[in-house]
């Protein structure tokens, strides 16, 4: 079921997105094509989870309300930084049911900058790797010396 289209952000989530917008690892090409003021959230089935550099990618198949199917691609961080934030290459495999939240691509393509993934188990993986803007709360994990959510 497609549940995307939610463009009204809570303050907390807006802050998270702004933090994500400031991630240097993504900024070299991500922040420009993605609308960081918006958020989409959708449920789908994992087609492929590409653990790669400079960016990992998650591809899911989403069933629209009319029954049609759409493949979405979501860009995530580098493997090292994802690992520091608690991710693992084995976290997802084809066929897994997931709920993805992302900043959509500006031109309407089915592409997003991944913000978080909720697995069928309920576990949430967040894309918090990287540097927050000055004054913002630090991301979870590496820079804070806080335990990673492994």
Partner 1 sequence: MIKHILLLAVTLCSAMPALPAVGAEPLGSSWTDVTKLPDFFTGNWQSRTSFLDNPSNVPFTAKALAYIAQFKPIEDIPFAGPSCKTPGMPIIQRLGSPLKFFYEPGMIAIYVENSSMTRFIKLNGKHSARPNPTFLGESIGHFEGTTLVVDTVGFDDVLLQYGDLPGQGTGPFVLPPEAIFGPHGPNLRMVEHIRLVDSDTLEDKLTIYDDTVWKQPYVSTPVQVFKRNRGEDGWPREWVCNTADTLIFDPNQGKTIQEDPAEVLKRLEKNDKH
Q: In the numeric block, which tokens belong to residue 112? A: 């997003």
Q: Does 20 bind partner 1 (CB under 8 A)?
A: no
**Terminal CA-CA length for the chain:** 29
What is the per-residue binding string for partner 1 in 60-99, x denoting contact by CB under 8 A? ----------xxxx---xxxxx-xx---------------
Only segment of 1-9, 96-104, 117-125, 126-134 that touches partner 1 (CB under 8 A):
126-134
39 vs 127, beta carbon nearer partner 1: 127
User: Which residues are within 8 A (CB) of 50 and not within 5 positions of it... i.e. 6 or more apart?
Assistant: 56, 57, 58, 59
Residues in the chain: 150
* H or E segment to which residue 20 belongs: helix 11-21
Q: Is 21 helix (H, G, I), strand (E, B) or coil?
A: helix
8 vs 78, beta carbon nearer partner 1: 78
Q: Does 37 bind partner 1 (CB under 8 A)?
A: no
8 vs 88, beta carbon nearer partner 1: 88
| Spatial separation of the C-alpha atoms in residues 90 and 38, rounded to whole Å | 29
Residues engaged in binding partner 1 (CB under 8 A)? 21-29, 31-33, 47-48, 50, 52-55, 57, 59, 70-73, 77-81, 83-84, 105, 107, 109-111, 129-134, 138, 141-143, 145, 148
């Amino acid at each position: 079921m497609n549940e995307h289209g939610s463009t009204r952000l809570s303050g907390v989530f807006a802050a998270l997105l702004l933090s994500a917008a400031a991630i240097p690892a993504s900024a070299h090409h991500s922040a420009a094509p993605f609308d960081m003021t918006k958020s989409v959230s959708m449920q789908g089935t994992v087609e492929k989870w590409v653990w790669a550099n400079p960016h990992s990618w998650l591809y899911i198949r989403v069933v629209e309300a009319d029954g049609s199917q759409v493949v979405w691609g979501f860009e995530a961080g580098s493997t090292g930084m994802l690992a520091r934030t608690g991710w693992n290459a084995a976290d997802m495999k084809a066929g897994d049911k997931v709920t993805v939240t992302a900043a959509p691509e500006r031109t309407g393509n089915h592409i997003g900058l991944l913000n978080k993934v909720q697995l069928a188990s309920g576990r949430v993986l967040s894309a918090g790797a990287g540097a927050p803007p000055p004054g913002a709360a630090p991301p979870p994990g590496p820079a804070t010396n806080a335990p990673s959510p492994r």
